Structures are given as structure tokens and as C-alpha cells.
Structure 1
């Protein structure tokens, strides 16, 4: 009897243990499933966060994205023969590209011919335009250039969703100290159709390349057309403009000087860029800097909210993508610092020929250029194969021809 009872308890204990084991397995399985669900949710949140960060970074790279969207749109329009494409736009595509001394929009002159030393090389696309198309253009002193404002950040909306582009009818004008004016009464790049018109001096011609000066074009600008400048029809006697357009003095600075350390810092940078530059020497390049800064190149935002921004040294993408950058240390990552209490304490930057020029400006509009830092990249060297060395012989020939022409005119005048 006792043995039977022991056997019964043993069975009960075994059953309890089995039930406990099953419960443990079920519980463990439940927690494992919950843990897996939590892990999966964490992965989803991490992926969502990564996507959000990537989207934010993509928006910061808006200029590059806008340029790509523009090229895609132009390609689609030129290849699509449907009535819908014909109704929405004309099949235009760039015939060439500008290789300019200006790496960023900031510092590019607001109008042409304001900076005579500002040079650019316009290279035609051999697949679209044969070199014979430029024959005779070198006999003109100046030419008109029609181009695309390819660095605008609103191109994608204008091309793909024009009804939702929220186009602004009025823009703020620097000469009006931020006052607004109808966009079609200004030279603002943000237009219903982002096409620019500029005039430049024709310096020399070589095959499918054209050397220009006095330009207000940023590097990489797509060119739609070139037309000769005709004084008898393009220069209108008695033409009038509003008074606010005549106010040149408000954009001029009082003086431009260079710090004692500037020359040595520029020498170090010049060694890296000289072979790709459109300038004959370091001294000529320094003359360009002085011409550029003789006009206040700061944007309205910089004038109203002066602040320091530092830039990572050697980052070609950062230098190319920023407008109105400034910074105290060129070797730091891009970070915004609190606004300074004095305008003279704010450091601004100008990127020209892949050289970052830092300068200060005081309340009396006196500028001191402090130092130069290289942001040169191999990307640029492959694009800038039309450098000063390539052009100098042609420029000398042109100078001799101009001198001979003047001599003949003087003799005829006698």
C-alpha cells in the first residue's frame, strides 16, 4: 500500500515537473517572441532614424540634387516627342559649360564687368556644337551668354511640379537694403524660368573653348547660347533705370588691405593650384581678390545676422555647396557659432580658384584680408585643363594685334 502511494506521488511529482517544464517552455517561448518583436521594432526605429537622417542630409545637398533634376528634365524634354512634352516646354539642352574661377555662388559678382579680372573658360560640347560655330566670334570685343541658374535650390519643383512651386512674385533686393521688388524688375536668379543673361569680354578663342573676362558666372554653369554684342543695337542711348538701381555706392567698400601673414599663406596655396589656374601669377590672383572685395559681397542674411561658420579644410564638396560661409579655423567641421557683438569680429570666407580667402569687415566698410587656405581637389584639375599657360600665347598675339590696330588708327587720325 505504501509502495502504491509512493508510486502515485511519484507520478504526481513527475506530472507537476512536466507541467512546470511545459510552462517554462511556453513562458520562455513567449518572452523569446516578445524579445524578437522588441528587437524587430528597434531595428525598424533605427532604420527610420537612419532614413530621416539621410533625408535631412539629402536636403542639405539640395543644389546638387537640383542640378541633377534639371539635367534629367532637359534630357527627357529633348528625347520625348509626345504632345504633352511639347506643350510643357521646349527641347533645350546646354551647348557648353563654364569653367569659372568662382567655386561657389558667394563672391560671384552680382553683375557682369564689375570685376574685370574675373575669368572663365566656356567649353562647347563637341557632340552638339562643332568648333566652326565659333568662327568670327573672336573679332567681337564682347558677347552675350544665355545660361541656366543651375545652383538654384527650387529647380526640382519648377520643373516637376510647377503648380506647387510656391513661386515668389517679389524678391528682396540688396540695393534696397532688403526691400522687396517684383522679380521681373530685378536680376534675381530665382525666376519663373531660371535663365540668366550676361555679357562678357572675349579674350581669346581656341577650337571649342572661349576665354572670357568680367564674368559673373559660377563654375559648372550650363550655357544655352552665345550671341555677339552689337553696340549699335544693344547699347541704347537715353535708356533710363529706377533710382535704386543707380545706388552703387551702398555696395562699395571703403578700403581693402591684406594682413602681413596673407602673402605667405597664399604662397602655400598657390603652389597647389597654379597649374590649373586661369591666372598668370600669385600677384595677379591677389589683384583679383582685391577687385572682388571692393564690392560688399555679403548676402542680406549675413548683413542682418552676422555669424561665424567654420569649414573643414580640404572639403571640396563643403566649399562648393555653401553660400556665404565664414569661419575662424579652416580645419574644423562645419559648425555655427553665436553671433559676434562686433561686426569686425566676424570672419567671412570667399572661395576662388579652390582657395578659401578669409576676411573681416568693420563698421566703416574697411576690409582686411587675413589668410588663404586650400580647398583644392583632383576633381577640379580634370575640369580646368584650359589654364593660363594654355591661353597666354593667344593673349599675347591678341595684345599685339590690338596695339597694331591702335597704331594704325593714330596714324590715320594724323
Structure 2
């Protein structure tokens, strides 16, 4: 009986233990569930707050962006459609990205079109504060490129700031191939345009750091460059392109022959010691080939072709003739009207001048179109300092 009592006591103790254990587990579970629910509610509340904050931020960004767009549109409209009394606001945010260092020291002698003088070289030096050298990566894989630039030596640039009614802009210009005949400016490549921006194509010889070496250029030294784009034949070359008849006669501005005087080579050798410091050419012989290519085209202005003259020639009464060695077609407009009424000199008596790489080259051209290059000299004010864009810079790239 005693053993039975002990057994019942043990069972009772076990039952109480299990009951207490289950109770503790239930309470613990209930507490955990309560805590979890509170944390879950807190997290949900935090999520809702974050979602509301995010939505508010997005709405604010959208509103600000729309405001910026409206402001930009208003500013663009103001800039591109300025009031007539303040035309200087008519501009877009652009400025030159680089400068041309060309063999053509002046406008006189600079080819009228690109690629006419294959040996005509120039270095395009980019402004690294605006154009990082990495911008040129991949450009050397193309053979040619387009160049957008400014006609910075136009004599009528200041007039373009005036009101159109006061600018004196000429809708028609004289065309060299038409021997003085006029054509609408947009049917020509005259540098004198409402916006003095030029477009040319050049061969890419080499690319190095922030510089490009170009050939076949028709750009004068110091030309500001606005942009460079690769030439892509499949879309830039148009086989079916048509041009007016007056452009199909390619020989209108060519000369019959180009020859050099017996003393020219020795004179060039004497000048080369100084000239080579700035020149993009390897030797006097290569530079002489450049001269021949340049003068194989009649580079004289319209008035000079109609009435041969230059700065050192004299009329019969010994009065000096105006200097038009670096005249442009805009100035030539007045000169043509005035000078064709006067007596012409024999073209054999006229000495013309061409400045290439700072060297003064004198030549004559007879009535049959034969050019005789007589002499070359260093200008009195020649800069004796070396040029960082000379032939030595590109020597390894050209070999």
C-alpha cells in the first residue's frame, strides 16, 4: 500500500510538472507572439513612414525637374529669340575646343577647298581644360575627319552683332569660278555668312595626347575649332550628288606649270635653319613640294586675276597700288568694281607673295598661267622660338 501511495504521488508530481511546463510554454509563446506582433506593427508603421517619405521625395524631385525644364525652355527661348535691342544674347553655350597650327600663315594661299593640297599640314591642339585627352581615343582608327571651325579672320565679324537691318550682310557674293559673277551665299562656300562657321574635311595623319596631325587642310594658322567628327564613308559620301555646271570645270583655277628659279633651293636652305623650328616638314625638299602644290592653283584674289597687281607694283604715275596680297572675297567686292576700270599691268611685271610657315615666298605668273617661284626669305619679324607642334613632335608617327 505504501508503494501504491508513492506511485500515485510521483504521478501527481509528474502531472503538476507537465502542467506547469505547458503553462510556462504557453505563457512564453503568448509573450513572444505579443512581442513579435508589437515589433511587426512597429516595422509596418516604419515601412509606411518610409514609403510616404519616398513618395514625397519622388514628387518633390518630379516637381523640381519639371520646374528646371520649364526654366530651361524659357531661357532657351530667351537666348534664341532675343529682343531686337539686345542681339548679343543670341548665342548658345559653346566656345572653341582647340586651335589650328597650320602651315598657312595668312589667308592668302590657303586653299579654297580641302584636300586640294595633300601636303598641307596642320596640328590641331585641344584645350585640355575643356577636352580631356581621353576624348581622342579611337579617332586614330579613322582615315579622315570633319572639322567645324570659325572664320575668325573675316573682316565683317563686328557687323554680325548689329541688327540685321544695319549689318550690311550681302545675300550674294562673287564666285571665283564665275570670274566675278554673283551667286547666293548659301549656294557657295564663301566665308562671309550670317553665322561665320566653316566645315572642312581633313586626313588624320596621327593622334598624340591632346593633339592631332592633319593633312590636306584648308585652314589658316590660328583657326578656332568648335568640333571634330569622324568621316564615315557609308553615310558621308553621296554617289548621286549633283552640282551646278559651273562647278564641274575643275581646271578654271589651275595654273599651267610651276617652276623654281636657279637660286631658289639655296635661298630655302639658308632660311631653313630658322624655319624648321616651327615647320611641320622634314626637309627643305619636302617644303618645296608643298610650295609647288599650293601654287599649282591660282591663289590670287579675283581683282588680282582681272587686273594683275600687288603691294610693290607701281602705276604709271608712280602711285602705289593697294595691298591685296591677303585680301578676302568680301574686300575683293569693292576692289573688283574699282580696279577693273583702271589700266592693267603686264602680269610678267608683277611679283606676288605667299607666306608659308612664316617664310615669304615671291613668285610671278605669266599670261599663259606659268608660275615661276623666284625667292624665299625670312620675315623681318620672324619668331625665332621653337614650336611644340613641329615636325619633330610627329616624326615617329609619320615614319
User: What is the rounded CA distance, in whole Å, between the counterparts of 1:149 and 1:356 in structure 2?
Assistant: 23
Which residue pairs with 2:251 in the alignment?
249
Q: How far off its partner does 1:269 sit?
A: 1.4
Equivalent of 2:371 in 361, 367, 371: 367
Equivalent of 2:358 in 346, 354, 357: 354
8 Å contact from structure 1 (residues 307, 339) kept in 2: no
Q: How far off its partner does 1:341 sit?
A: 3.1
Secondary structure at the residue paired with 2:258?
strand
TM-score (norm 1): 0.68
Q: How far off its partner does 1:310 sit?
A: 3.5
Deviates more, 1:338-347 or 1:226-235: 338-347
User: What is the rounded CA distance, in whole Å, between the counterparts of 1:212 and 1:112 in structure 2?
Assistant: 11
Which residue pairs with 1:125 in the alignment?
127
User: What is the rounded CA distance, in whole Å, between the counterparts of 1:380 and 1:157 in structure 2?
Assistant: 36
Aligned length: 296
Q: How does 1:222-241 map to 2 (within 5 A)?
A: 222-241=224-243
User: What is the rounded CA distance, in whole Å, between the counterparts of 2:380 and 2:278 in structure 1?
Assistant: 10
Structure with the largest fraction of helix: 1
Deviations 1:279-299 (A, max 9, x none): 000000000000000011111
Q: How does 1:82-121 map to 2 (within 5 A)?
A: 84-87=78-81, 88-121=90-123
Which residue pairs with 2:47 in the alignment?
none
Give the ranges of 4+ consecutive aligned residues of structure 1 lying more than 4 Å apart after TM superposition: 81-86, 376-380
Secondary structure at the residue paired with 1:116?
coil
Q: How far off its partner does 1:150 sit?
A: 0.3
TM-score (norm 2): 0.70
8 Å contact from structure 2 (residues 101, 124) kept in 1: yes
The answer on 1:208 being equivalent to 2:206 is: no
Q: How far off its partner does 1:267 sit?
A: 1.5
Gaps of 5+ in 1: 1-80, 312-320, 326-337, 397-414
User: What is the rounded CA distance, in whole Å, between the counterparts of 2:384 and 2:151 in structure 1?
Assistant: 20
User: What is the rounded CA distance, in whole Å, between the counterparts of 1:192 and 1:283 in structure 2?
Assistant: 42
Deviations 1:249-291 (A, max 9, x none): 1111110000111112211211111121100000000000000
Which residue pairs with 1:154 in the alignment?
156
Gaps of 5+ in 2: 1-74, 82-89, 314-323, 329-341
User: What is the rounded CA distance, in whole Å, between the counterparts of 1:263 and 1:376 in structure 2?
Assistant: 20
Q: How far off its partner does 1:163 sit?
A: 3.5
8 Å contact from structure 2 (residues 310, 352) kept in 1: yes
CA RMSD of aligned residues (A): 2.4
User: What is the rounded CA distance, in whole Å, between the counterparts of 2:190 and 2:198 in structure 1?
Assistant: 9
Equivalent of 2:345 in 341, 356, 367: 341
Could you say which structure has the larger radius of gyration? Answer: 2
Q: How far off its partner does 1:93 sit?
A: 0.4
